[in-house]
């Protein structure tokens, strides 16, 4: 009997209950394919388990700031290498009061990744944003160095509003012209992040006009594949936000604004002995948390709160205070930490900016 005839007979005389080999081969192939699909849809990594109802909080260290060739450091609205959202420690720069501030040098010395440049308010023509309400938009030497900062790996956002001049939405009553004014500023500096420091929310029309302009800008940015991050900087007291500020946030969100963070301006209270007391700051943030969550329509909002203590003097914070602020920010997963007012001492500044490394 030939070999071919012998193998054919063996196939015809398989034991009862044993499936045909063709069926076994088909099932094996299906099993391999199914296993591959299951592996493909699983997350690549868990990054740690979060508590119920809470997303994992992951901190990513920023890249080390490096110097690139001079040809790459020309000013201009180049795309940001730092991403679109501030993180770590964010340095605020009053570009009118400190026109010689060197963004790139400050970034290298502290390794701070993000800056906020302020403040753009309405000029005499109402619908034209100017630095401090009196300096031409393209005439600011600090903002004009943004290209060098970005070439070094950092970035800066624009702050509208603030204490000097009128906020654009209050001065420019035409929605189209207001939107165009914001758009020109964002485009001129290639901004991926803008902040609105609202001293007075204004009437309902002002709130909705501002919200309409911001919403239009965010939709345009999303269509270009370059999202525009928006935050609101608001004062906070021991009891939290003022009711009108809470209402403004809620109305802006309902009008379509995607609010990434609410930056809380918290004064540093002092004890009768003259020492800083950070307990009221923590209480203010906790009180504001519930308000921010309600306003933004989310169950928890810790990661959407930024904290900015306002210093009356450079010695308002000690090294121990700085460590407490950094620990509080990290423990609660706040969006970022900053300061306003007087500049902290060099040793305190080193501790605060260390969270950006």
Which domains, and CATH codes, for the chain? 73-356 (3.20.20.80)
Q: Residue 117: name the closest of 95, 97, 135, 146 by CA.
A: 95
Query: Where residue 357 falls among pLDDT bands split at 50, 70, 90?
Result: low
Q: Answer yes or no: are the C-beta atoms of 252 and 211 closer than 8 Å.
A: yes
pTM of the model: 0.77
Say what the pLDDT of residue 271 is.
Answer: 84
Statement: residue 172 has pLDDT above 70: yes
pLDDT of the residue at 23: 41
Gap between the Cα atoms of 28 and 26, Å rounded: 5
HSE-up of 183 (CA within 13 Å, CB side)?
Answer: 15
39-80 confidence digits (pLDDT tens): 233 233 323 222 323 333 333 333 333 333 333 333 444 544
Average pLDDT score over residue span 122-128: 89
Count of residues in the chain: 357
Q: What per-residue confidence (pLDDT) applies to 13? A: 42
């Amino acid at each position: 009997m030939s070999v071919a005839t012998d193998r054919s007979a063996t196939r015809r005389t398989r034991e009862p209950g044993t499936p045909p080999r063709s069926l076994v081969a088909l099932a094996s192939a299906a099993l391999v394919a199914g296993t591959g699909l299951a592996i493909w849809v699983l997350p690549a990594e868990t990054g740690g388990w979060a508590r119920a109802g809470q997303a994992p909080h992951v901190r990513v260290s920023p890249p080390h700031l490096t110097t690139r060739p001079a040809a790459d450091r020309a000013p201009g609205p180049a795309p940001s290498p730092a991403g679109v959202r501030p993180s770590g420690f964010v340095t605020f720069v009053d570009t009118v009061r400190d026109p010689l501030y060197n963004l790139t040098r400050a970034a290298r010395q502290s390794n701070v990744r993000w800056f906020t440049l302020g403040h753009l308010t309405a000029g005499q023509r109402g619908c034209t944003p100017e630095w401090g309400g009196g300096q031409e938009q393209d005439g600011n030497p600090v903002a004009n160095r943004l290209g060098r900062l970005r070439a070094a790996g950092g970035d800066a956002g624009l702050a509208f509003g603030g204490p000097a001049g009128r906020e654009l939405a209050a001065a420019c009553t035409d929605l189209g012209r207001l939107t165009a004014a914001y758009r020109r500023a964002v485009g001129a500096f290639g901004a991926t992040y803008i902040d609105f420091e609202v001293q007075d929310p204004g009437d309902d029309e002002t709130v909705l006009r501002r919200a309409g302009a911001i919403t239009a800008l965010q939709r345009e940015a999303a269509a270009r594949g370059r999202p525009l991050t928006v935050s609101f900087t608001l004062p906070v007291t021991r009891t939290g936000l003022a009711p009108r500020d809470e209402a403004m946030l809620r109305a802006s969100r309902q009008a379509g604004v995607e609010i990434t963070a609410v930056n809380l301006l918290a004064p540093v209270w002092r004890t009768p002995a003259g020492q800083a007391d950070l307990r009221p700051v923590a209480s203010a943030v906790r009180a504001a948390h519930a308000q921010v969550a309600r306003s933004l329509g989310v169950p928890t909002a810790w990661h959407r709160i930024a904290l900015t203590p306002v210093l009356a003097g450079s010695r308002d914070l000690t090294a121990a205070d700085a460590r407490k602020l950094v620990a509080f920010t990290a423990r609660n997963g706040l969006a970022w930490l900053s300061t306003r007012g007087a500049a902290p001492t060099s040793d305190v500044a080193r501790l605060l900016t260390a969270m950006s490394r």
